[in-house]
Amino acid sequence: MGNTERAVEQPEKKALGRTSQAFLVEHVHLLARSLLATEIGGIAVDLDYLVKRGQELQEKILTLKPAMRKAACGQVECAEVAAWREKLDAYKTERGRKNCKRPEFSFDSPKQLADLLYRRLRLPVQTDPKTRNVSTGDLALESLEKAHPLIPLLREYRGHQKVYGSYIEGTLERLVEGRVYPEFRVNGTKTGRISHVNPNMGQLPREGGIRGIYIPDPGCVFITADYSQLEVVLAAHFSRDEQLLRVVNEGASLHDITAAALQIERHTAKTINFAIQYGAGVSKIRDILGCDQAAAERALAKYWDTYAGLKRLVDDCHRCVEEGRPITNPFGRSRHFPAAFKDKWEKERAKRQSFNALIQGTGGDLTSRAFYLADDRLRGLGIGKSLFTVHDEVIIQAKKAHWEKAQEILVSAMESVGREIELTVPLKAQPSGPTERWED
C-alpha cells in the first residue's frame, strides 16, 4: 500500500489523540453547541438595505427578460404564437377565441425552455446524467455556454432569480423583529460540511452586496477569516505532489502551471483546474477547450503528467471504491460506498465522491473545528462569539473595543487545527475586518 493510499484509508488511526468515534462524537457536540447559540440569538438584518438590494435585483431581472427574447432571434415569439394557436383551437365558440390572450413565454418553465433550446434553436440536447431525461438545469446550461448568445443571459437571469428568492424573499419571510434565525445541520452533508437552511447562510454570494443585508449587534463588528487555498493545501498534504507543493510553499500559481503545461490561456486553465477538481473527464475537457476527442485526451494526459502525485492520490481514492474500502479523513470521519453499483454512471459518481470525501470532508471538519475553538475562546473572554461558516470562511462578531484581540483569536484558532492534524504544509488564514457591514 502506497503513502497516498494510507492517507485515504486509516480507520484504526486515532483522531487528535482519541479514538475516531470518540472524537467525532465530541466534535459534533461542540459544533452543535456553538451553532445553537446563533440559532437562538439570531442575526440582525438591515431592512432598508435589504429592500434596496431587492429592488436592484428586480431591475436586473426585468432588464434581462427583453434581452433574452432578443437573443433568441424571434424564436420566443414563434413559441408564443404556436401556444396561442393551440389555445384558440381548443375554444369552440367565437367569444372564447376573442377573449383568448396570447400566452407569454416563461424562461422559468423547463418544458418551454427545452422546446426553445433544443427544438427551435437546435442546440445540442443535454440530458441529466442521473435520469437521462432532457435537461435545462445549471449543468446543461454550463455545457451550452458558448453555443448561443442566449445562454449567458439565461444563466445570469437564473443567478439573480436564485439570489432574490433565497436572500431577499427568504429573509423577508423569516424576519422576526429585525432578526433572522437560521438553522444549521451539523450532519447535513455526506462530506461533513455544515448545511444551513432558513436562510442558507452557507451559500451567500460574495458579489452583489447581498452579504451586507446582515449586520452586527450594536457596539459590535463583524470579523471574518478564510483559509488560503485550503483544498490545494490539503491535496498537497495528502498527495505530496511536486507542483502542488510549489503552489503552497513557494507561492507559485496553480493556474499558471496548468496554462504552461497545456499551452492554453490562464483563464481557460483556471476553468480546467476547477472542472478536474470535481471529476471532469475527457468530454468536459473537450467542451472547455473546444477541441476534438483526441486533443482532449492528450490534454488530460498532459494534465496528469504535470500533477503526477495528485493523480496517484485520485487513483488511490478510486481504488477504495473499487475494493469496497472506506475513505477516512484525519478527523476520523469515514465515507463508505456501496459494495455493488447499479450501473457505470453510479460507480463513476462514487469515485468522484471518494476524492471529495477526503479533500472537502477534511476541509469541512477543519473549518468546523476552527469555528468552535474560536467561539470557546471568544465567549470565555466575553469579547465576542462565532456566528457561522461560509465554505472555508469563519464569521465572528466581536465587541468594537476588542476587535484586534478577537481577530487574533480567530486566526490562531484556524491555523492551529492544521498543526493538530499534523499537516505537512502550512495552513494560513487571511483575516478581513473589522466592519459594521459585511460587504463583498
pLDDT tens digits, one per residue of 125-182: 998 867 778 999 998 998 898 899 999 999 999 999 999 998 999 999 999 999 999 9
Find the mean pLDDT for residues 209-237: 94
250 to 58, 111, 240, 245, 275: CA distances (angstroms): 45, 51, 14, 8, 24
Residue 340's pLDDT band, with cuts at 50, 70 and 90, is confident
pLDDT tens digits, one per residue of 376-424: 999 999 999 999 998 899 999 999 999 999 999 999 999 999 999 899 9
The reported pTM is 0.84
From the list 4, 425, 411, 415, the residue with the least C-alpha distance to 251 is 425
Assess contact for 427 and 255: CB atoms under 8 A.
no
Q: What share of the chain in percent tops pLDDT 90?
A: 63
Candidate from 62-71, 192-201, 258-267, 361-370 with smallest mean pLDDT: 192-201
pLDDT at residue 12 greater than cutoff 50:
no
Please give the Cα distance from 155 to 32 (Å, whole number): 36
Give every CB contact of residue 228 below 8 A, 6+ residues apart in sequence: 428, 429, 430
Please give the Cα distance from 356 to 393 (Å, whole number): 18
pLDDT at 332 (0 to 100): 84
Question: 7: how many CB neighbours lie within 10 A of its CB?
Answer: 20
Average model confidence (pLDDT) across the chain: 89
Domains of the chain: 3-42+181-232+362-435 (3.30.70.370), 49-166 (1.20.1060.10), 242-306 (no CATH)
How close are the terminal C-alpha atoms of the chain, in Å?
46
pLDDT at residue 4 greater than cutoff 60:
no
pLDDT at 2 (0 to 100): 47
Please give the Cα distance from 139 to 155 (Å, whole number): 10
Assess contact for 392 and 429: CB atoms under 8 A.
no
pLDDT tens digits, one per residue of 199-217: 888 888 877 788 899 999 9
Residue 5's pLDDT band, with cuts at 50, 70 and 90, is low
Find the mean pLDDT for residues 51-79: 95
pLDDT tens digits, one per residue of 284-312: 898 889 899 999 999 999 999 999 999 99
Please give the Cα distance from 42 to 216 (Å, whole number): 10
3-state helix, strand, coil in the chain (%, to 5): 60, 10, 30
Q: Are strands 327-328 and 43-45 parallel, antiparallel or unpaired?
A: unpaired
Report whether the peptide linkage leading into residue 129 is cis, meaning its omega lies within 30 degrees of zero: no
Residue 19's pLDDT band, with cuts at 50, 70 and 90, is low
pLDDT at residue 1 greater than cutoff 50:
no
SS3 146: coil
Find the mean pLDDT for residues 89-108: 88
Residue 435 is given by DSSP the state: E
Buried b (16+ CB within 10 A) or exposed e, 383-407: bbbbbbbbbbbbbbbbbeebbebbb
| C-alpha cell at position 200 | 442558507
Candidate from 34-38, 67-71, 113-117, 334-338 with smallest mean pLDDT: 334-338
**431: enclosing H helix or E strand:** strand 429-435
| DSSP string computed for 355-371 | HHHHHHHHHHHHHHHHH
pLDDT at 11 (0 to 100): 43
Assess contact for 124 and 283: CB atoms under 8 A.
no
pLDDT at 21 (0 to 100): 64
From the list 358, 412, 318, the residue with the least C-alpha distance to 236 is 358
Q: Which residues pair with 393 in a beta bridge?
A: 226, 390
Strand order from edge to edge, sheet including 429-435: 384-390, 393-399, 220-227, 429-435
| C-alpha cell at position 213 | 443585508
pLDDT at 439 (0 to 100): 67
Please give the Cα distance from 169 to 298 (Å, whole number): 48
